[in-house]
Structure 1
Amino acid sequence: MTNIVGKVSMINGPVIRGVDMTGFKMREMVLVGEKKLIGEVISIDRDTGIIQVYEETEGLKKGEKIVSTGKPLSLKLGPGILGNMLDGIERPLKKINNDFGSFIPEGIGLISLDEEKTWEVNVLVDIGDFISEGEVYGSVEETSLITHKLIVPFGVKGKVVEAKESGKYSIEEELVVVEDKKGRIHSLKMYQEWSIRTPRPVKERLPIDRLLITGQRVLDIFFPIAKGGTAAIPGGFGTGKTMTQHQLAKWSDADIIVYIGCGERGNEMTEVLEDFPKLIDPKTNKPIMERTVLIANTSNMPVAAREASIYTGITIAEYFRDMGYHVAIMADSTSRWAEALREISGRLEEMPAEEGYPAYLPTRLAEFYERAGYVKNFNDTEGSVTIIGAVSPAGGDFSEPVTENTKRFVNVFLALDRELAYSRHYPSVNWLTSYSGYIEALKGFYNRELNEDVKELRAKMLRLLYEEARLKDLVLLVGEDVLPDEERLVLEISRIIKIGFLQQNAFHSEDTFVPLRKQIEMLKAIDHLYERALSSVKMGIPISQIKDSKLFEDITKMKYTIPNNNLEGIDELNRQIDDFYNSLDEKYSK
């Protein structure tokens, strides 16, 4: 089939208008101009089409050719993705740097996976076998942590008529040939192509009822994220969005991490690109890059590619999910992605909605977050995609459109607080404005794993924190001394919850990651202290006697002093609490 050719009639930054485009299709990938810039058709009206270009359009002239490719903007999905650093349309940055230098030149094409590198392939099917879509027909040890499973592309089903022996092959070599019922031949290579804007199908969506364990107390107990769930981390400048996502990438129990640096400052992405390869996975003592994909599209890169980077990341995540892996996506930040939408919309002269964002912003956000989920795959494995998106509201204003609309589509909202961050309270998650919609869904998980009613204990601690927030206003007006002892006790216990439990030190070996069992035992010890102290208050004992400075300090510092793998120290603290208040009660009851 001959390629259909149109002509450039108008150039407005990344937005191109073309004529003679009757035969082009919506969302089709095209090559624009002599440099063959990569673009995508986003509008067709009679013989006029609008194209967004994923590369710099400087030097492009009116009248240059627009050539159709006949297929949508797609990714090559196969071995070589893990451990790689890619741009917004899956081009490898290391290779571009080696071949072309520090800047990405125009017209280098849609290079992606290394076509020359050979991989040790274990072919799992024989001639005569019947295979269908989603089944595993081979495997490659892509890294020492992850086995890359070669799955039959969707839409392919039939009998194996040719199969290579296990051995070393490049991704372009044919491994298996399948003949379907209609006699059509399908050639299976090590990779498959998939349109970035089309969600990959699943056999069945399963209930979301398992915790994404992060080792961060404020998340795992107070505002839990479920595997296959969605979360937003909104916060103003300097509140720790990126660092929170780094902690989740390093410590969460996801098998694979996809980190999307979408429109962030170049120096911030440089830090990620330099630090991640040096990080050691604490669970395996191997480089964390062996289970990580980095997608970098900085603020000075083409704006259209920034818009595509989110879809590139989610498509890669779905591909690994289909193999039976649990994948976590860190999107930093969806605000920059929304700004790219706004810029392109403005160049298209579309009617702006609130704050200049396009009217379809909520739809695009919903489409992105709805691709999360816990699923059963066609090969009967279970996998999940968890999406954790950072939001950067200008001036920390959570009422702006991106934050407000994101709130509608996510189940966990981790509002970062500037005052907490500036007072060095990290993670700076504000317990009064954050929430998690997975508390009820995870009740069974906590019961199975911990045999504890976490929901009730969490609710009790939050009630104390809410009460403390109310009392703080009174204290500012009249001082703490005039409060009843029961309310003064609430202030003291809330201080322990905030400093001893919610605040966490990423640089302390015992505190950077805390197992679930220690988390719940710490909270139970704080609750035990509160109940014993409250009982003494009700006996009429003054708060000055009830608050033992050393005991309260030991409870606050237990996160550092008690090892994660030996919790006998918490039992000892509970005994000290009982001994102290037994003796105090006895003294005052005489």
Structure 2
Amino acid sequence: MSHGVVVKVSGPLVVATGLPEAKMFDVVKVGKQGLIGEVIEVHGEKLSIQVYEETSGLGPGDPVISTGVPLSVELGPGMLEGIFDGIQRPLDVIESKAGSFITRGIDVPALNRDKKWAFKPTAQKGDRLTGGDIIGTVQETVIVEHRIMIPPGISGTLVDIREGEFTVTEPVAKLKTDKGDIIDITMMQKWPVRKIRPYREKLPPEEPMATGQRVIDTFFPVTKGGTACIPGPFGSGKTVVQHQLAKWADAEIVVYIGCGERGNEMTDVLLEFPELKDPKTGEPLMKRTVLIANTSNMPVAAREASIYTGITIAEYFRDMGYSVALMADSTSRWAEALREMSGRLEEMPGEEGYPAYLSRRLAEFYERAGKVICLGSQERQGALTAVGAVSPPGGDLSEPVTQATLRVVKVFWALDAQLAYARHFPAINWLTSYSLYSDTVEDFMNKNISPEWRDLRTEAMKLLQEEASLQEIVRLVGIDALSVKDRLVLEAAKSIREDFLHQNAFHEVDTYTSLNKQYRMLKLILLFYHESQRAIDQDAVFSEIEKLPVREKIARAKFIDEKEMDKFDEIEKELKDQIAELLSEGGRVNA
């Protein structure tokens, strides 16, 4: 370790000298309390250090010690169910040691050094192994099997492996490298957060990540290994949508990063997730979740680290062969941290004061998502899906963070304040949102759900777009100016909006809808539209069609339990019978 001194302090930015061996992104300890910081700029003998803790009380002459290693996370059993801050310090351990407030300079390991884990070997003595190969497993929670892997960049022959209970720092195996060195393999790896974890090959993301949210799965899907963003003004439901995705998305591991969001929102997550039941296993959702809690009242600089900490942990679980969903809430707060540090470094500002490299940093973050063939000789695939919330001031989607994000991500869920105020959840605007995965997902749906999927989705979107045009006419001259067929379009689009797109997150059935049920619901609404069209072609009275008793059942189809799907057949039959009865009873206009 080399020693230096503080020259200048400016908020979270500290300038130091006397550390000739320190490199970019090395971790340093600043002051007598040993505040954690990271080198972010090197100018000759002077280093600019981003400090992740409150710097009040620091002054020129205070000591600075370089650790010589980059900011890294500890990866191993004990992360699941954990609640960490932006630099992976366990908040529950800090609370037990220092009380409710984080003490400056407190140094606690990310993973428990005393807890023993039951290790079961899957590799055998004499096996030829390479980086990424699984040598054994630990049942970390009742839901998740933690797969212990050879760290990347290491290969050799296994000369010893033991079964039993070990801490994360005790050797469970010994590997003889090609050079003849003997390396101890523990259950814990360390990995620099700014370095992408390697994989064998990146695959095109083709399989949808089912979320149970109808507006997402049917109209604007995201794939396993895809990227999505949720921009929207304050109060439009960004956090609520991310909570729903974390609860219901078809992912085996969830990493939730509260990056600069308000403390009460993060408190909701901390209180709700342990109470929520995993729909697949019935166990608490926290059993497969890692939380990074870096709220708005924590040091600004730590927001930047929290994003990298979270995605590195997510990559690690992806390398085991799991499907991982990462929620970042919100990347705007992360960008504000970049802006503050850039300003203190006196860099040339870009648009609205953000650093000129904002787009590149966002691209580097989102490109770490993807579906991959994992590293190692054992064939397995993993996926990392990244979903970032963006908080544009006043809902202005033309601001730099939103625009830089849209250039990178493939799915855009535009939250609409008017829909939110109208209590329409999720408040995703179906006219401005888009998904570049739609064609890929439609092929998957046509093969696995129904050959009609693409046609139903296309027709439903067309009806919603036609409704938007017709609403302009209605506002100008009134609904009486519309033809009967146009009024039917409005009625069908209203049914799609209110009976299909609107979803109650607090209703035990409506909060989640399987892909098959989504198909049946949309098919039922469009069947009503087609049957009504046929009746109008035979001169049926439109007001009689509006009053059909089956309309109530169509509206309440969202509350049909997944185990009672045959009820859709009954409603479809009832609809056809009532239309036939209407025509036979003479509910028609004169030709």
Query: TM-score normalised by the shorter chain: which range applies?
Result: over 0.9
Does residue 416 of structure 1 match 2:440? no
- Farther off after superposition, 352-361 or 577-586: 577-586
Shift of 1:370: 0.6
Q: CA deviation at 1:4?
A: 2.1
Q: Which residue of structure 2 lines up, in the alignment, with residue 172 of structure 1? A: 169
Q: Out of 233, 239, 243, which is 1:236 matched to?
A: 233
Q: Given that residues 390 and 401 in structure 2 are in contact (C-alpha distance below 8 angstroms), is that contact kept between their aligned partners in structure 1?
A: yes
Deviation at 1:585, TM superposition (A): 3.7
Alignment-mate amino acid for residue 241 of structure 2: T
Indicate the residue corresponding to 1:44 in structure 2: 42
- Is residue 86–residue 92 contact of structure 1 (8 Å, CA) maintained in 2? yes
Q: Distance in 2 between matches of 1:491 and 1:451?
A: 26
1:273 deviates by 1.1
Shift of 1:549: 4.3
Matched, 1:478 2:482: no
Q: 1:495, 1:549 → 2: CA distance?
A: 16
What residue identity is the alignment partner of 1:397? D
* Counterpart residue number, 1:285: 282
Deviations 1:172-221 (A, max 9, x none): 11111212111223221110000000110111111211011111111111
- Alignment-derived partner of residue 85 in structure 2: 87
Match of 1:113 in 2: 111
Secondary structure, aligned partner of 2:517: helix
Q: Is residue 229–residue 373 contact of structure 1 (8 Å, CA) maintained in 2?
A: yes
Q: Which amino acid aligns with 1:506?
A: A
- How much has 1:523 moved relative to structure 2? 0.5
Q: CA deviation at 1:128?
A: 2.3
Looking at structure 1, the residues matched to 285 and 546 of structure 2 have their Cα atoms a distance apart, in angstroms, of 45
Match of 2:537 in 1: 538
C-alpha RMSD of the superposition: 1.4
- CA distance in 1 between partners of 2:452 and 2:30 (Å): 61
Distance (whole Å) between structure 2 residues aligned to residue 144 and residue 19 of structure 1: 50
Q: For residue 436 of structure 1, report the CA deviation from its aligned partner.
A: 0.8
Do 2:292 and 2:310's aligned partners in 1 also have CA atoms closer than 8 Å?
A: yes
Partners of 1:584 and 1:111 lie apart in 2 by 73
Alignment counterpart, residue 358 of structure 2, candidates 356, 361, 386: 361
Task: Return closer, same or farther for 1:18/1:110 CA change in 2, 3 Å cut-off.
Answer: farther
Instruction: Find the residue that maps to 1:319 and give its secondary structure.
Output: helix
* Deviation of 1:364 (Å): 0.8
Answering whether residue 480 of structure 2 is matched by residue 490 of structure 1, we say no
- Name the CA distance, whole Å, in 1 between partners of 2:155 and 2:547: 72
Deviation at 1:578, TM superposition (A): 1.5
1:110, CA displacement in angstroms?
5.6
Confirm whether residue 218 of structure 1 aligns to residue 215 of structure 2.
Answer: yes
Match of 2:52 in 1: 54
Separation in 1, partners of 2:130, 2:352: 49
User: How far has the Cα of 1:463 moved from its partner?
Assistant: 0.8
User: Is the 1:228–1:387 Cα contact (8 Å) retained in structure 2?
Assistant: yes
Q: Percent of aligned pairs with the same residue?
A: 51
Equivalents in 1 of 2:446, 2:534: separation in Å? 28
1:196 paired to 2:193: yes
CA contact (8 A) 1:258 1:327 kept: yes
Would you say the 8 A contact 1:73–1:196 is kept in 2?
yes
SS in structure 2 at match of 1:35:
coil
1:341 aligns with 2:347: no
Kindly indicate whether the alpha-carbon contact (under 8 Å) linking 2:19 and 2:66 is maintained by their aligned counterparts in 1.
no
Secondary structure in 2 aligned to 1:237?
A: coil
Whole-angstrom distance in 1 between the partners of 2:348 and 2:548: 63
- Structure 1 counterpart of 2:515, one-letter code: L
Match of 1:56, as an amino acid?
E
1:581 aligns with: 579
Letter in 1 for 2:397: F
Secondary structure at 1:277 match in 2 = coil
Asked whether the equivalents of residues 376 and 382 of structure 1 are also in contact (C-alpha less than 8 Å), the reply is: yes
Secondary structure at the aligned position of 1:536 is classed as helix
Distance 1:205 1:453 in 2: 31
CA shift, 1:577, in A, is: 2.0
One-letter amino acid of the counterpart of residue 95, structure 1: V
1:400-549 matches, cutoff 5 A = 400-549=399-548
> Which amino acid in 1 is paired with 2:33?
K
What amino acid sits opposite 1:545 in the alignment?
E
Contact kept, 8 Å, 1:254 with 1:328, in 2: the verdict is: yes
Letter paired with 1:357: Y
- Aligned equivalents of 2:552 and 2:220: distance in 1? 26
Asked if structure 2 preserves the Cα contact closer than 8 Å seen for 1:156 and 1:186, the reply is no
Q: List aligned pairs for 1:152-171, cutoff 5 A.
A: 152-163=150-161, 165-171=162-168
Task: Find 2:66's aligned residue among 65, 68, 76.
Answer: 68
Counterpart contact for 2:307–2:328, Cα < 8 Å:
yes
Contact kept? 2:446, 2:454, Cα under 8 Å:
no
8 A contact 1:439–1:455 mirrored in 2: no
TM, length-normalised to structure 2: 0.97
* 1:15 and 2:13 matched: yes
Structure 1 residue 245, shift from structure 2 partner: 1.0
> What is the TM-score of this pair, normalised by structure 1?
0.97
1:267 to 247, 264, 267: 264
Q: Which digits, 9 at most, give the CA deviation of each residue in 1:389-421, with x for residues without a partner?
A: 111111111111111111111111111111111
Aligned residue for 1:517, secondary structure, equals helix
Structure 1 alignment gaps of length 5 or more: none
2:175 equivalent to 1:149:
no
Tell me the CA shift for residue 275 of structure 1.
1.5
Q: Is residue 319–residue 382 contact of structure 2 (8 Å, CA) maintained in 1?
A: yes
Q: Secondary structure at the match of 1:419?
A: helix
Q: Which residue of 2 aligns with 1:303?
A: 300
Aligned pair count? 586
Secondary structure at 2:564's aligned position in 1? coil
1:70 deviation in Å? 1.6
SS at match of 1:193: strand
Retained in 1: the 8 A contact 2:225–2:386?
yes
The separation in 1 between residues aligned to 2:102 and 2:520, in whole angstroms, is: 52
Structure 2 unaligned regions, length at least 5: none
